[in-house]
Amino acid sequence: MKLLRDIWLVFGRYFGLFIRNPAWVALGVLQPLLYLLLFAPLLGPLNKVPGFPTGGAYNVFVPGLLVQLGLFGAAGVGFSLIAELRAGVIERLRVTPVSRVALLLGRALRDIVSITVQSLILILLALPFGLSVNPLGVVVVLALIALIGLFTASISYAVALAVSDEGVYASIVFTASLPILLLSGVLLPLGFAPTWLRNIAALNPLSYAVDAARAVFLAHLTDPSVTKGVAIMLVLSIIAIFIGARAFGRAVA
């Protein structure tokens, strides 16, 4: 009970900060719009490329874009935490009896809400371009993206607390997320990849999330890759929550 109340309180604080800042809200909506307007026109001709999965270019790419949004949307969340570390806010919160898990989850929940809303906007905007998806599929995909966001945000916060320096944080997070992204088949399906690259990608948990999202959008909701992708992200998220909450428990800055 206390944990839920604490999560709700912490979420309320950070959601309030977000919602009271019109610029952040506007940027949040703009991002998916940019993905579609500036990237989608490249997709039309791809349908004719031999070996490209059938089901329409949008149904292949939008899942990738969503995973990317989940990953990059949450990769940068540690920046604001470092500013708070410096201002003594985190230390002040850690002296109160508030649950350390709530310090993490309350914030991550805010990030998830923003990522989920952005994802929904992206899906809706893609519909007129020819994306087809059923409502249940949307729910499954949003849950999957939320898990990716939860995982990434928890790790980002743990890194931010560990390094407490914007420059170091940025280089760690972006150096790590780029290969993870490239090796997940987000941009192009790994079906195009040579065997060695596919083998490396098989070690990348995010590639299963991309497979799952793509299966949903290609109308294979019952495909085992969906369950597999969701299960992998769920396990990873739980591990990441442990790491993140531990980092809040012992933050030194």
Partner 1 sequence: MDAVIETHGLRRVFKTRKRSVEAVAGVDLTVRSGEIFGFLGPNGAGKTTTLRMLATLMPPSGGSARVAGCDLSTQPDRIRERIGYVGQAGGADREITGRRELVFQGRLYGMSRAKAEKRAAELITMLELEACADRQGKTYSGGQKRRLDIGLGLVHDPQLLFLDEPTTGLDPQSRARVWDEVRRMHDRGTTVFLTTHYLDEADALCDRIAIIDYGKIVAEGTPEELKRDVSGDVVTLTVAGDQQRALDLLKDEPFVREAKLDEGSVLLYVDQGEVSMPAILRLLDGAGLTLQTIGLHRPSLDDVFLRKTGRSLRETPA
Q: Which residues bind partner 1 (CB under 8 A)?
A: 6, 9, 13, 16-17, 21, 84, 86-89, 91-98, 250, 252
Shortest separation between residue 225's beta carbon and partner 1, angstroms: 42
Per the structure block, which two tokens stand in for 100?
């350390």
Based on CB atoms, which residue is closest to partner 1, 20 or 48?
20
Residue 61 to residue 226: CA distance in whole angstroms: 17
Nearest approach, Cβ of residue 93 and partner 1 (Å): 7
CB of 21 to partner 1, least distance (A): 8
Contact 59, 216 (CB under 8 A): no
* Best CA proximity match to 112, nearest among 87, 82, 145: 145
| Residue with smaller CB distance to partner 1, 14 or 35 | 14
Q: How far is the CB of 246 from partner 1 (least distance, A)?
A: 13
Nearer to partner 1, 24 or 174 (CB): 24
77 near 150, Cβ under 8 Å? no
Q: 203 or 252: whose CB is closer to partner 1?
A: 252
The terminus-to-terminus CA distance of the chain in angstroms comes to 30
Q: Give the count of beta carbons closer than 10 Å to the beta carbon of residue 44.
A: 12
